[in-house]
Homo-oligomer: A and B are copies of this chain.
Amino acid sequence: MNYLKKVVIVFYCLFSGGLYAQQHPSIMLTKANVDAVREGVELYPLLKTSYQEIKQQADVAIKQAINVPVPADGGGGVTHEQHKKNYNTILNCGVAYQLSKDIKYANYVKDMLLAYAAQYQKWPLHPKRKENHQGGKIFWQALNDCVWQVYTIQGYDMVYDAIAPKDRATIENKLFMPILKFLTVDCYTTFNKIHNHGTWNVAAVGMTGYVLNKPEYVEMALKGSKKDGKAGYLAQIDQLFSPDGYYMEGPYYQRYALLPFVLFAKAINNYQPNLKIFEYRDQLLAKAINTSLQLTYTDGTFFPINDAIKDKTYETIELVYGLNLAYADIKPEAFLLDVAQKQKKVIVSDAGLKVAKAIAEGQSQPFKYLSQWIKDGGNGNEGGLGILRSGSNQDQQCLLLKAASQGMGHGHFDRLNILYYDNNGEVFFDYGASRFINIETKRGGHYLPENNSWAKQTVAHNTLVVDQQSHYHAKVSEAEKYNPDLIHFSAEPNMQIVSASENHAYPGVKMLRTAALIKIEGAHKDLLVDIFRVEANKEHQYDLPFWYKGQLVDASFKVEAYKNNLQALGNNYGYQHIWLNAQNSLKDQSGFVSILNNKRFYTTHFTSDKLLNVKMLSIGANDPEMSLTEGKAFMLSSQANASEQTFVSITETHGNIDPVNETVESAYSQLRNLKLISSDQKKAIISFSYKNVAYRYEIDYQAKQNFARLIQENKF
Contact = CB atoms under 8 A, between A and B. Distances in A.
Interface of A: 76, 81, 84, 309-313, 315-317, 436-442, 445, 551-554, 559-561, 563-568, 579, 581-582, 594, 596, 616, 618, 620-626, 629-630, 657, 659-665, 667
Contact of A554 (B441, B566, B579): B441
15 contacts: A76-B664, A81-B664, A311-B660, A312-B659, A436-B551, A438-B657, A439-B553, A439-B664, A552-B626, A559-B625, A563-B624, A564-B568, A581-B626, A616-B626, A630-B630
A660 B442 CA distance: 19
Of A564, A621, A661, most buried by chain B (CB within 10 Å of CB) is: A564
Contact of A563 (B309, B622, B659, B667): B622
Given A441-B594, A554-B441, A81 B625 contact: no
B436 A622 contact: no
A664 B85 CA distance: 11
Given A582-B626, A663-B438, A567 B564 contact: yes
B664 A564 contact: no
Nearest to A438: B664
Contacts of A665: 81
Contacts of A624: 559-561, 563
Contacts of A436: 551, 553, 596
Nearest to A560: B624
A568 B565 CA distance: 8
How many copies of this chain? Answer: 2
Nearest to A618: B620
A506 B84 CA distance: 56
A561 B630 CA distance: 15
A659 B76 CA distance: 12
A621 B581 contact: no
Given A81-B663, A445-B664, 11 more contacts: A76-B664, A81-B665, A316-B660, A439-B657, A439-B664, A441-B554, A551-B629, A559-B626, A563-B622, A566-B567, A630-B630
A616 B567 CA distance: 18
A61 to B, nearest CB: 14
A680 B564 CA distance: 41
Contact of A621 (B445, B564, B594, B663): B564
A262 to B, nearest CB: 17
Nearest first, the 10 A-B pairs at minimum CB distance are: A566-B566, A441-B554, A311-B659, A438-B664, A563-B622, A76-B664, A564-B568, A552-B626, A561-B624, A560-B624
Given A626-B559, A664-B81, A439 B596 contact: yes
A598 to B, nearest CB: 11
A400 B6 CA distance: 69
A656 B316 CA distance: 17
Contact of A565 (B310, B311, B567, B661): B567
B561 A625 contact: yes
Nearest to A319: B660
A660 B565 contact: no
Contacts of A439: 553, 596, 657, 664, 667
A510 B626 CA distance: 35
A309 B553 contact: no
B561 A623 contact: yes
Contacts of A551: 436, 629
Contacts of A441: 553-554, 594, 667
Contacts of A662: 309, 437-438
A285 to B, nearest CB: 22
Contacts of A596: 436, 439
A441 B445 CA distance: 43
Contact of A313 (B442, B445, B660): B660
A312 B626 contact: no
A169 B620 CA distance: 66
A162 to B, nearest CB: 28
A327 B92 CA distance: 48
Contacts of A313: 660
Contacts of A440: 667
Contacts of A563: 568, 621-624
Of A81, A623, A626, A661, most buried by chain B (CB within 10 Å of CB) is: A626
Contacts of A616: 626
A436 B616 CA distance: 20
A438 B626 CA distance: 35
Contacts of A310: 659
A448 to B, nearest CB: 11
A319 to B, nearest CB: 10
B564 A622 contact: yes
Contacts of A664: 76, 81, 438-439, 445
